[in-house]
Structure 1
Amino acid sequence: MRDQQHALIVLFVLALWPRFGLRRGIATGAGALALMAPWLIDAPRDLIRDTVTYLIDVPPLPYGNSSYLWFLVHRHVTLPTWVTTGALLLALASAAWVARQRHTGLPRILYAAAAVLLVANLVNKQAFFNQYWLVAALVVIALAATPGAGTRTGHRTRLGVSCPWGRVAGRRPPPRSARARSACGAGRSWCARAAGC
């Protein structure tokens, strides 16, 4: 968090997610603070200057990668603070809404955190490729954590029809009418019945 201050945004989003929670968020922040303790004890003024005030005071760098800099360099327009702050607050509010939803799983919360980081980078006056790598990493982890992602192994029915949703955790079979259930037979798997008796 000392080197990538944007990670605090991810921590904020995770702290709002009930499965991670405020206590784990505080513990994570305390762990990061403990890792920074040697620099904080040795030279607190330098640490604050390097990680906070320098980033606020430095003028926009024309070779950065953000929409803020694109408007500044190519259109000679400085985006007002209310536009950049409003975009970030809207992204945070959207991520907070997603985090507080009852059935929000890991992939969804990672997508929300990635979206907030992407907006933060786009409105930043000095975003570089390394800050977009964290966004990409969150998206890749979310894709990997999505149930049913990657190869769909499924099991085969008697007719040889692959039923990819049959073994995916957390998914329920599609509803079937009583007539269809009795026609297919109670001993057969619902996937076999769904693929056709």
Structure 2
Amino acid sequence: MTAFLPGRANNPTTASGWFRHDLPAGGNVGPLLLGWCAVAAGIAAGDGRGPWPLALVLAGWGAVLVSVGNVVVGNMVGKDARAGRGAVWVTLAVVLAAGVTMRPRYYAAGGWADVSDALGVAGGLLTAGSILWWLRRVPGDRAGARWLVSPSCFWSVVGLMTGAGIAMILAAPRPRIDVFYLLQVSADGLFAGADMYRQQWAPSHTGYPVNQLFDVYPYLPGTTLVLAPFRLLLTDVRYGLLLASVITAVAIRRIMARNGALGDTGLPPALPLLVLAFPGSMYALQQSWTEPLLTACVSVMVWAVAAGRARWAVVAFAVALASKQHLALLIPVAAFWPAFGPRRTLASVAVAAAAVLPWVAVGPADFWRDAVMTNLRYPVRGDALSVPGVLSHVGVTTGFGPVAAALVLAYWLAWRVRADAAGFCAGAGVVLLTLDVMNKQSYFNHYTLPMALLVTALAAQGERGPTAPAAPVQRNVEKRSSAAPS
């Protein structure tokens, strides 16, 4: 079923028609949001480690599968249904408000850490307050109250979270984690003409402050290519990751604006802020985890398709594919999406391959060892936030079979909701969330990418707020080819 926004043309050939609602505009939003909340609580509760938070993550995974699979069928209508949706948004606000109290510092210390905490708490509480005020908005609200759902509030939170991120970087100038060192040193090596797949991250093991990867670059070169300018100009690649998070929030907001979802009948204006103010966001930035690059690429891709900028969309997806290996799992999902389609997907793959090719040509054995075999040979770890990690405590080895079976289910769901931008984002989120749940090593950062995709899916479908009347339902399904004008 496809629901249309009021006041929008019901013409499937228009650009605005790309953001249509294969995910029903009421009944399935609740499970999707609850799934996001459960995953956010799970990764924050144990900093993305340990067995017991997996129960929350599995509950969130199940809720997302229910939502995307249309197991809950039909739109909520009437006062009780609106109240039910309202309870979901309240739950989201509570998760955000509670999340600001969980601020692990690890390698951060001093006054800058205090500044980061203060700004992050303010940003998180303001985001939660904006959602709650949007939920109960009534005509004639005072100007101060209306400010909570205004663009000024959105940009204020962006400013607060940006300030919190800068302060966190200053508070932890040298976090003891291999990702930080391999990104910093590989960026230096890029300017010196060194091959990142042949570098080591310290002169010797003795001087290396972490007991982790020492001479292995486990990513694709796009990660360092994008972050190297921030190392050169600002001395720290994490400024690039912070900017990528801001770009993601802005892109999601623009998706909502194009979809007519920022007005009185739209989604809460604070929705895009979830990619900045989720519980533990500053912890993720401190650790230099690279998922913000990927979320920025995918959100810009979705916005570019809506804006008719096909080349931007192709390049954005190509950058994601050239940055981290597991993004290749989204190639079929992108090809499923009629507005992007096989032709543009192949173009993105070609651009990504061209970006990676120089390193393959110069040192094929080094590239194969670092970028391929290192990831395949990772052992199952007991502190992983995944099913294999928990089962390893009782001596059970799952092997690849359950992962393959779960991914088949995820791809089937992605195929079912493939018709529009919301379906693409939801399908991509399901595929990557399923991988994380079933993978050998999954931690806090791995889950933040599917969480961002779920937020983008909500923004793209433009579900109306709790006081809006039910939208007319159309049974026609959008059919577009990859050759359609973008």
TM over 0.5: yes
Match of 2:281 in 1: none
| 1:3-31 Cα distance to aligned partner (Å, 9 max, x none) | 42221112221112222110111111111
Contact kept in structure 2, 1:110 and 1:139, CA below 8 Å: yes
SS at structure 2 position matched to 1:126: coil
| Correspondence for 2:375 among 18, 37, 55 | 55
CA distance in 2 between partners of 1:148 and 1:81 (Å): 38
Q: 1:143/1:3 Cα in 2 relative to 1: closer, same or farther (>3 Å)?
A: same
Q: Which has the higher contact order (CA 8 A, sep 6+)?
A: 2
Contact kept in structure 2, 1:3 and 1:51, CA below 8 Å: no
CA distance in 1 between partners of 2:450 and 2:409 (Å): 18
Match of 1:37 in 2: 357
Match of 2:449 in 1: 134
Match of 1:144 in 2: 459
Identity of aligned residues (%): 32
Could you say which structure has the larger radius of gyration? 1
Contact kept in structure 2, 1:2 and 1:51, CA below 8 Å: no
Report the TM-score when normalising by structure 1. Answer: 0.68
Q: Within 5 Å, which residues of 2 pair with 1:21-170? A: 21-73=341-393, 75-99=394-418, 104-149=419-464, 164-165=468-469
Contact kept in structure 1, 2:388 and 2:397, CA below 8 Å: yes
Match of 1:180 in 2: none
Q: Which amino acid aligns with 1:27?
A: A
| 1:19-53 Cα distance to aligned partner (Å, 9 max, x none) | 21101111111111122133222222222222222
Structure 1: gaps spanning 5 or more residues: 153-161, 175-197
Match of 1:16 in 2: 336
Q: Which amino acid aligns with 1:82?
A: G
CA distance in 1 between partners of 2:366 and 2:373 (Å): 10
Q: 1:37/1:165 Cα in 2 relative to 1: closer, same or farther (>3 Å)?
A: farther
Alignment: residue pair count: 154
CA distance in 2 between partners of 1:95 and 1:78 (Å): 28
Q: Which amino acid aligns with 1:44?
A: P
Q: 1:70/1:2 Cα in 2 relative to 1: closer, same or farther (>3 Å)?
A: farther
Report the CA distance between 1:136 and its aligned residue. Answer: 1.0
Report the TM-score when normalising by structure 2. Answer: 0.29
Q: 1:60/1:148 Cα in 2 relative to 1: closer, same or farther (>3 Å)?
A: closer
CA distance in 2 between partners of 1:17 and 1:113 (Å): 11
Contact kept in structure 1, 2:386 and 2:436, CA below 8 Å: yes
Q: Which amino acid aligns with 1:19?
A: A
After alignment, is 75-84 or 136-145 more displaced?
75-84
CA distance in 1 between partners of 2:396 and 2:362 (Å): 41
| 1:32-90 Cα distance to aligned partner (Å, 9 max, x none) | 112213322222222222222221123223332211111112x3211143222211122
SS at structure 1 position matched to 2:325: coil
CA distance in 2 between partners of 1:41 and 1:19 (Å): 34
CA distance in 1 between partners of 2:384 and 2:361 (Å): 32
**What stretches of structure 1 move > 4 A for 4+ residues in a row?**
none
SS at structure 1 position matched to 2:456: helix
CA distance in 1 between partners of 2:460 and 2:473 (Å): 21
Contact kept in structure 2, 1:91 and 1:115, CA below 8 Å: yes
